[in-house]
């Protein structure tokens, strides 16, 4: 349920949205939304597993010192650490898929498309 004056964050792929109070990191919000963002360091900018892509850098806090040190030029490409990023206004977060998951998803999409084309021809 959307809370008034609280921005929403949308996680892609999947499209789940959740209210994003400013004191919560995107990593914390993803856990609340039951969206998996990998972590090994539990949110202390130590593992770099929680990389996400932000579509609008003005919608989140400025990069932390830890992000500047660890991500360097990736920051300019919109890459952030979910554990260090907090939402200021409505934003979409892209969670990179691991390679195996990406291959499986694309294969399933091709199969589904093939089934739909077969149905259309029948
Ligand atoms: S959770 Fe480890 S760097 Fe963000």
CATH number, residue 25: 3.10.20.30
17 contacts 8 by C-beta, under 8 angstroms: yes
80 contacts 63 by C-beta, under 8 angstroms: yes
- The residue nearest atom 1 of ligand 1, judged by CA position, is 43
Tell me if 116 is assigned to some domain.
no
**C-alpha distances in Å from residue 87, one per residue of 11, 26, 64, 96, 122:** 12, 7, 13, 19, 49
- Ligand 1 close to Cβ of residue 50 (< 6 A): yes
Question: Which domain, by its residues, includes 91?
Answer: 8-96
Residue 114 pLDDT greater than 60, yes or no: yes
Q: Which atom of ligand 1 is nearest to the CA of 40?
A: 2
Tell me if 2 is assigned to some domain.
no
Tell me the CA–centroid distance for residue 31 and ligand 1, in Å. Answer: 13
What is the distance between the alpha carbons of residues 25 and 78, in angstroms, rounded to a whole number? 16
Tell me the CA–centroid distance for residue 81 and ligand 1, in Å. Answer: 6
Q: What is the number of structural domains in the chain?
A: 1
Stated pTM of the model:
0.81
Tell me if 80 is assigned to some domain.
yes
Tell me the CA–centroid distance for residue 26 and ligand 1, in Å. Answer: 11
Tell me if 35 is assigned to some domain.
yes
Residue with tokens 């260090």: 84
pLDDT for 76-97, tens place per residue? 999 999 999 999 999 999 999 8
């Amino acid at each position: 349920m959307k809370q008034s004056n609280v921005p929403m964050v949308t996680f892609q792929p999947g499209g789940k949205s959740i209210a994003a109070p400013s004191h919560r990191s995107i990593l914390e919000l993803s856990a609340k939304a039951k969206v998996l963002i990998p972590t090994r360091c539990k949110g202390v900018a130590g593992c770099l597993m929680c990389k996400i892509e932000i579509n609008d850098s003005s919608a989140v806090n400025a990069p932390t010192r830890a992000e500047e040190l660890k991500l360097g030029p990736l920051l300019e490409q919109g890459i952030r650490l979910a554990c260090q990023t907090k939402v200021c206004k409505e934003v979409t977060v892209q969670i990179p898929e691991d390679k195996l998951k990406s291959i499986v998803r694309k294969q399933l999409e091709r199969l589904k498309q093939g089934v739909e084309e077969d149905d259309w021809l029948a």
